[in-house]
Structure 1
Amino acid sequence: MKKCWVKIIFFWLILIIGFQVHAGGITLIQEINSAPANFDGKEVTLKGIPKDPTRMPLVDLKIYVLKDSSDEITVLTEFDLPKMGEEITIRAKVRTLAIFKGEAVGLTVTEVERYEPQQEI
């Protein structure tokens, strides 16, 4: 009977830990860049350092490049541009213009939410 409870507890721990990693985990930019079709239409959490800001006021377009330890990706945003050089965490929607023979064309990453950095007490 004790082995049964150990297996049940182990199963639930694995399930809970796996869900937390999947639900709140940070996606590496390299994963998106190497297989954008796998992320098409999905929301991801990205963490990195923004650089290379671009703002085109006539069309209300704001873009920056987000760089993490694995790669970098261009992010479209409707928010104010983030402070450059300071690490941020964002939730973003990944879209591709088309998928042709398994290859994604026209990758876009649009910022949905920006998380405030946790302040130290």
Structure 2
Amino acid sequence: MKKWLAHMMLMLAILTTGDPALAGEITPIKEINAAPVNFDGQEVKLKGIPKNPTRLPLVNLKSYVLEDSSGEITVLTEFDLPKMNEEITIRAKVKSLAIVKGDALGLTVTELERYEQQQKI
């Protein structure tokens, strides 16, 4: 009986968590752009379409613009640049270079993890 209950609990956990990219709430980009101070030092999940890649090998800088239905934001990454125009979900850290009188200056969004999109058959 205990073994059966343990198996049922495991199955329930697997079914309720599903895709790790969907675990946790996706933050609309416009919320970060509208009030970056509220997100300073926070980790967020973003989902959108990458575009406008930049790679500067001399300073080891890679970035892209992530666009969702609410807006767009530049994302810095140490990973390979994502495929352009294909939806991705990322976990990222939001930071500001400085906060002066409640206004954030030098907003940066740094990719911490990229979730693989599941192919639909």
The 5 A counterparts of 1:4-83 are: 24-83=24-83
Counterpart residue number, 1:99: 99
What is the TM-score with the length of structure 2 in the denominator?
Answer: 0.80
Runs of 4+ in 1 over 2 A off after TM superposition: none
Unaligned 5+ runs, structure 1: 1-22
Counterpart residue number, 1:5: none
Shift of 1:118: 1.2
Other structure's SS at 2:32 match = helix
The structure richer in helix per residue is 1
Other structure's SS at 2:63 match = strand
Shift of 1:51: 0.3
Shift of 1:37: 0.2
CA distance in 2, matches of 1:39, 1:89: 18
Shift of 1:68: 0.2
CA distance in 2, matches of 1:119, 1:72: 25
Task: Indicate the percent of aligned positions where both proteins have the same amino acid.
Answer: 78
Counterpart residue number, 2:3: none
Counterpart residue number, 1:117: 117
Shift of 1:120: 2.5
Shift of 1:119: 2.3
**Quick one: which amino acid aligns to residue 66 of structure 2?**
L
**Quick one: which amino acid aligns to residue 41 of structure 2?**
G
CA distance in 1, matches of 2:118, 2:26: 16
Unaligned 5+ runs, structure 2: 1-22
